[in-house]
Chain A
Amino acid sequence: MFLDLDANATYAADERIQVLIAQAMDTLGNPSSVHRAGQRARAAVEEARQSVRELVGAAAEDQIVFTSGATEANNTVVSAAAGLRSGHLVSTQIEHPSILAPLARAAQRGCEVRLVAPEPSGEILPEGVAKVLTSDTALVSVMMANNETGIINPVEEIARRARSLSPRALVHSDLSQIVGKQKFSFSELGIDIGTISGHKIGALSGVGALVLRRGIEVAPLVVGGSQEMKARGGTENVLGILSLGIAARMVSESINRRIVQMSALRDRCEEIILKGLPGCEVNGRGYMRLPNTSSIFVEGVRGDDLVVALDLEKILVSSGAACSSGKPEPSHVLLAMGQDEERVRSTIRVSFRADQYRQDAERAADALVRVVMRMRDERGGAAHAA
């Protein structure tokens, strides 16, 4: 059996969710239809909305807007903010490409974009953000947890600074990776907008949501229908939204247990690797991190090759963010942290699921130690022969 240690790329729906999604397959009317098939679909969508609201700790007056995923949600936020008067946009160098790419496009169109660099630990400091804020800033967007390192940023404090220094700014945080891995409350974070992703918590891919604080409106990215309170045109992805609702409910019910289990798995895995393998380092160790994520530098091996070698051992990890291009570029996150390219290319990411066991973590760590020793031998041998 494959051991999936790439939960940050996608958290595949577990069996219970699969069954519930399958059962929901006959709820596929158009939620905008008047007839009863439409009514059933509408009810399912609204129930899911409530589940998501509870999952993120949003107030009853806050809005949940379903999108095709976190990428669309992030694009919506940046595009909306870029259309505002000042054009001064603040974010960080470690954001997901779905923030960075729209920001780059906004910059080409004349916006002033400031990207705050992380500390060597990977953390974004509130002071660093505060330094670039102006009274005219239109957007402050800082991800809550980084997908590659798992480092958790002090978003609450950043939001507080943004409020006082940039009262007109939309304060946004990409919450894709924090959901299901750490307890938090949207209301207490003090942000205006949050992004969440379905497939990072066990829903189907192709669904995500924006969480909008009461009274906050953003110009829709997708127009052509009055769905989602006119914030996102297009017939709702009913099955996707249903799956997000189901996953949200399950996560809400089990969040404490999930955190305990995932941190135990991660700590055990890191312990075996750091003990068994000289020349390894865990990025951001000792800082606030997601309980399931290890970003591990392994001296003397290529991260990409290690991913292949572990896949052949039926252990799924990644060498950074999931790569859609086929050709892996070195991680922009680790580079921004000041690491050199060779080190970055020798780094892999291990991200656990909550339904895995201690023996899984041990099997993975043992395999990693064994494979790395073999790869180091081959490299040493080849260097010798040459």
Chain B
Amino acid sequence: MRHDSLAVDTHLSAAEPVVVAMSGGVDSSVAAYLLAKRGHPLVGVAMQVWDYKKNSAENSRATCCSPADFCDARMVASKLDIPFYVVDFEKTFEREVIQRFVETYQRGLTPNPCIDCNSKVKFRELRERARGFGCTTVATGHYARIRKSDKGFHLLRGADRNKDQSYFLYTCRQDELGSTIFPVGDFTKPEIRELAREAGLITANKAESQDICFVAGSVQDFVVTIGGSRGKGRFVSTSGEVLGEHEGIHRFTVGQRRGLHLGGATEPLYVVGINASTNEVVIGNRSDLKREGFTVNEMHWVSPDLIEAVCERRFPIEREIVAQVRSRHEGVRARMVARDAESCEISWSEDWAAVSPGQAAVLYDLNNEEVLCGGRIAPFEV
């Protein structure tokens, strides 16, 4: 049954080969396996995005997409009897992902490199180069689903809510959704591991990759190594009192509680704001994190009906939605108002969540199932 549902994802021509991005992890291995099982001609591609030898003294085994992972991917490809190539994306990755990651932290914001990687590398350059190989369709091991209706393509959360990665995919355009397959999106992680074992894939019992694949050690050290430090700064209270000194704003994210090393408070302390121009980190209580709403910039419109509304400029566009404001967040009901195509205002309905400027806000329908649109949370005054 489930295998048939793959066919719903896309209208693949049977003869044209599909490029399947293989990181050497279990998810993309099974993605390739499921497509191979359907008898589809495949081209396995491992994306060489970062030179771990050059950029890290640490054991590269801890990350994904390292040479050892490519070796695993190669073994899987060989088992499935499909051609496999390592393709070099280092330049684009450094420019679009690494530099933006570092600069965002240095500006006192919280980056999300997986989203940049998906939008600029996996779903743009990989697609372009796949077409050079004669392949228009790209498959990845993401936990998300694509459904086609008469209006267009719909991006849905993965069947396994614990593993769902639709949050990272909100920059996908309609043409990209129409030429993408997520073979594992209909399965749960345990099912994927079972399939991998069934197929005898070397990656079946492999550990999960880390959140940020190119950082083997600490994120903060990485930011300083690549981008340099902006130096120490001060912790201040919401009323402006100086509480202490910190090692640099890149170490902090709004909503963060750990690692502040500020004693003496009766209530838990949080980072409630970061001011890059003064190099100050604003400290407050949980209630100081509460906001009525926030602005989202750099909008991407994903669902066909919203795209239509934006194209026809039916502003203001208003919707009741569920807003997911960081990668591990279930989503909270809110109201969206868009007055132009570039941004929108979100106001919480009942419950609320702390938001970190720079992070993505992805807006789902009220079933919390379909991605409607998404963008970056704009900086705000504290």
Chain A contacts to B: CB under 8 angstroms: 301-302, 304-305, 308-309, 311-312, 326-328, 371, 374-375, 378-379, 382, 386
For residue B309, CB closer than 8 A to chain A, the reply is no
Bound Cα distance from A326 to B132, whole angstroms: 20
Stretch in B83-91, B181-189, B337-345 with 4+ CB within 8 Å of A: B83-91
Q: Which of A308, A311, A312, A375 contacts B87 (CB 8 A)?
A: A308
Across the interface, do B133 and A305 meet the contact criterion of CB distance under 8 Å? yes
Across the interface, do A374 and B128 meet the contact criterion of CB distance under 8 Å? no
Across the interface, do A305 and B134 meet the contact criterion of CB distance under 8 Å? no
Bound Cα distance from A324 to B64, whole angstroms: 21
Across the interface, do B88 and A304 meet the contact criterion of CB distance under 8 Å? yes
A323 nearest CB across to chain B (Å): 10
Question: Max chain A CB contacts within 10 Å: which of B43, B48, B70, B86?
Answer: B86
For residue B17, CB closer than 8 A to chain A, the reply is yes
Contacts of A382 in B (CB 8 A): 124-125, 128
Least CB separation from B46: chain A residue: A326
Contacts of B17 in A (CB 8 A): 312
Across the interface, do B132 and A327 meet the contact criterion of CB distance under 8 Å? no
Least CB separation from B74: chain A residue: A326
Across the interface, do B132 and A374 meet the contact criterion of CB distance under 8 Å? yes
Least CB separation from B133: chain A residue: A309
A312-B43, A327-B88 given; A378·B70 CB < 8 A: no
A326-B67, A326-B70 given; A301·B132 CB < 8 A: yes
Question: Max chain A CB contacts within 10 Å: which of B83, B86, B132?
Answer: B132
**What are 26 A-B contacts with C-beta separation under 8 Å?**
A304-B88, A305-B87, A305-B132, A309-B133, A311-B83, A312-B17, A312-B43, A312-B83, A312-B133, A326-B70, A326-B86, A327-B48, A327-B51, A327-B86, A371-B134, A374-B131, A374-B132, A374-B134, A375-B132, A378-B129, A378-B132, A379-B128, A379-B132, A382-B124, A382-B125, A386-B124
Bound Cα distance from A326 to B131, whole angstroms: 22
Across the interface, do A328 and B88 meet the contact criterion of CB distance under 8 Å? yes
Bound Cα distance from A379 to B128, whole angstroms: 7
Bound Cα distance from A327 to B83, whole angstroms: 17
Contacts of B128 in A (CB 8 A): 378-379, 382
Contacts of B129 in A (CB 8 A): 302, 305, 378
A236 nearest CB across to chain B (Å): 33
Least CB separation from A327: chain B residue: B48
Q: Mark B124-140, 1 if CB is under 8 A from A, else 0.
A: 11001101111000000
Bound Cα distance from A309 to B132, whole angstroms: 7
Bound Cα distance from A326 to B83, whole angstroms: 14
Least CB separation from A308: chain B residue: B85
A372 nearest CB across to chain B (Å): 9
A305 nearest CB across to chain B (Å): 5
Contacts of B88 in A (CB 8 A): 302, 304, 327-328
Chain B contacts to A: CB under 8 angstroms: 17, 43, 48, 51, 67, 70, 83, 85-88, 124-125, 128-129, 131-134
B85 nearest CB across to chain A (Å): 5
Across the interface, do A308 and B48 meet the contact criterion of CB distance under 8 Å? no
A378-B128, A382-B128 given; A312·B134 CB < 8 A: yes
Bound Cα distance from A379 to B131, whole angstroms: 9
A329 nearest CB across to chain B (Å): 10
B180 nearest CB across to chain A (Å): 16
Bound Cα distance from A147 to B83, whole angstroms: 26
Bound Cα distance from A309 to B129, whole angstroms: 10
B128 nearest CB across to chain A (Å): 4
Contacts of B67 in A (CB 8 A): 326-327
B80 nearest CB across to chain A (Å): 16
A326-B67, A327-B48 given; A378·B86 CB < 8 A: no
Additional 19 contacts, C-beta under 8 A, given A305-B87, A309-B133: A302-B88, A305-B133, A308-B85, A308-B87, A309-B132, A309-B134, A311-B83, A312-B17, A312-B133, A326-B86, A327-B67, A327-B88, A374-B131, A374-B134, A375-B132, A378-B132, A379-B132, A382-B124, A386-B124
Bound Cα distance from A326 to B70, whole angstroms: 9
A160 nearest CB across to chain B (Å): 44
Question: Max chain A CB contacts within 10 Å: which of B43, B70, B86, B133?
Answer: B133
A301 nearest CB across to chain B (Å): 7
B135 nearest CB across to chain A (Å): 8
Contacts of A304 in B (CB 8 A): 87-88
Contacts of B131 in A (CB 8 A): 374, 378
Bound Cα distance from A20 to B131, whole angstroms: 44
Bound Cα distance from A312 to B17, whole angstroms: 9
Contacts of B124 in A (CB 8 A): 382, 386
Least CB separation from B175: chain A residue: A385
Bound Cα distance from A327 to B50, whole angstroms: 11
List 3 tightest A-B contacts by C-beta distance, closest first: A375-B132, A382-B128, A378-B131
Contacts of A327 in B (CB 8 A): 48, 51, 67, 86, 88
Contacts of A375 in B (CB 8 A): 132
Bound Cα distance from A312 to B133, whole angstroms: 7
Bound Cα distance from A15 to B86, whole angstroms: 31
Bound Cα distance from A305 to B127, whole angstroms: 13
A231 nearest CB across to chain B (Å): 37
A374 nearest CB across to chain B (Å): 7
Question: Max chain B CB contacts within 10 Å: which of A302, A327, A386?
Answer: A327
Bound Cα distance from A308 to B125, whole angstroms: 15
Least CB separation from A383: chain B residue: B128
A381 nearest CB across to chain B (Å): 8
Contacts of B70 in A (CB 8 A): 326
Least CB separation from B88: chain A residue: A304
Bound Cα distance from A302 to B51, whole angstroms: 19
